[in-house]
Amino acid sequence: MTARADVPPSPDGDGGGPAVREEKDAWRRRLLAARRALPAAVRAARAAALAAGAVRLADGTSGPVCAYLPVGSEPGTSSLVEALREAGHDVLLPVVPPAPGPLDWARFDGVEALGPGPLGLREPVGPRLGPATVTHAGLMLVPALAADRDGRRLGRGGGFYDRTLPLARTATPLVVVLNDDELVARVPVEPHDRRVTGALLPDAGVIRLGNSS
């Protein structure tokens, strides 16, 4: 797959500032609108491909898989985490903390063991395992709106993953789950934005990003 090159680089480079924040907001509006416009049948087919791809990616992983439940128009469905669990993986889902900080985590024991959480999320009702749990993860699947070939990630702006990803081990793959056309030439970034090492796409599969080997 070839990354799209139709978006100009940020005028502020990687330095941050109001111009970058405005550019990020414009990107978010455009990407969210494109996701909402996808036909239901296309979303379903891509969700099935992502679930199968996640299982292949996690094969042989040592340690739990930190994943998440897609919400709204995010690529994928709960079938992704269910497939990982059925494949024998210990799947952990994020728990949003009451104050800004890294995410907490809890074990996914099936959709019947989920309860409502903040920001429209569903969260496991079981024991909270603490933010440091990510240090044991063998794989992290990370939500994003877009990413580029250097591993820059554009999220929704809450900052929870930017505070969480630095806790993971250096060797742990950090993989964003995207539609194929959301892997682009460059996304606007600020100094606090944390990079990822791969992208899971419904058609292209797993693409390594940045300096990952």
pTM, to two decimals: 0.88
| Pairwise CA distance, residues 73 & 21, whole Å | 23
**147 closest CA partner among 98, 196, 87, 78:** 196
Residue 186's CB: how many other CB atoms inside 10 A?
18
Q: Which two tokens stand for residue 26?
A: 């414009």
Q: How many CA atoms lie within 13 A of 116 on its CB side?
A: 3
Residues 173, 188: contact at Cβ < 8 Å? no
The predicted structure's pLDDT at residue 169: 94
Residue type for position 188: P
Taking CA atoms, 46 is separated from 23, 180, 205, in Å, by: 28, 10, 11
Please check whether residue 83 is in contact with residue 47, taking contact to mean a CB–CB distance below 8 angstroms: no
Sign of CA dihedral 151, 213, 85, 76: positive
**pLDDT at site 52:** 98
Residue 14: what pLDDT?
Answer: 41
CATH 3.40.50.10420 fits 18-208, yes or no: yes
Give residue limits of the domains in the chain.
18-208
**Low-confidence residues of the chain, pLDDT below 70?**
1-16, 211-213
**What pLDDT is attached to residue 15?**
47
At 211 the pLDDT is: 60
Please calculate the CA angle 38-197-168 and round it to the nearest 5 degrees.
110
pLDDT reported for residue 194: 87
- Output Rg (C-alpha) for the chain, integer angstroms: 16
Q: Of 80, 144, 136, give the one whose Cα is nearest residue 108.
A: 80
What's the residue count for the chain?
213
